[in-house]
Amino acid sequence: MSAPVSAPVGTRGEEFEVVVERGKIAEFAAAMQSADPAYRGAQAVVPPTFLASSALWRPESARVAVGFDRRRLLHGEQEYVFRGPPPRAGQTLTAVERVDERYAKPGKRGGEMRFCVVVTEFRDEAGTLVAEARATYIERAARPAATDEAS
């Protein structure tokens, strides 16, 4: 089995559309157990972590190739940065992923841990950047091969 291809820093995925629906905002708020009225009605705003649900609408072709072994993959960090008011119900955003950073560190149990930061940009109908989601993925070091000490 060949190793997955790793996209280099700067690689961008295909753009995809994120329709901000008031029903989905209300469902997300209910799942968060929030009764905040800002998340209800025709002018509802998105909760801060709502943009994570955009992954449900992202076609596989829009995803950048991190190239990590899924058996050793961890989701290390997630951050949302809003560049103005949060998106509202009725907006259609255009989203695109890009590889922002790659680095490695020694693992505490030996081997090397690899990191990849993927940023998803969300732009409004005018093309203005309204939010970014920064995800840090970690590939844990491979376990050392077992040695046969009985021989």
The pLDDT of residue 149: 55
CB contact at 8 A, 87 and 45: yes
- Number of domains, the chain: 1
Percent residues over pLDDT 70 in the chain = 91
Domain membership flag for residue 145:
no
Task: Show the domain range for 128.
Answer: 16-20+51-139
Q: Which of 45, 47, 128 is nearest to 94 (CA)?
A: 128
Domain membership flag for residue 151:
no
Domain membership flag for residue 39:
no
Whether 2 shows a pLDDT value over 50: the answer reads no
Domain membership flag for residue 147:
no
Backbone φ/ψ region at 111: left (φ over 0), alpha (ψ -120 to 50), beta: left
How far apart CA 44 and CA 40 sit, in angstroms, is 5
Mean pLDDT of 110-121: 95
Q: What CATH number should be reported for the domain holding residue 63?
A: 3.10.129.10
pLDDT tens digit sequence for 45-86: 999 999 999 999 899 989 999 999 999 999 999 999 999 999
Whether 144 shows a pLDDT value over 80: the answer reads no
Q: What share of the chain is helix, strand, coil (3-state, %, to 5)?
A: 15, 35, 45
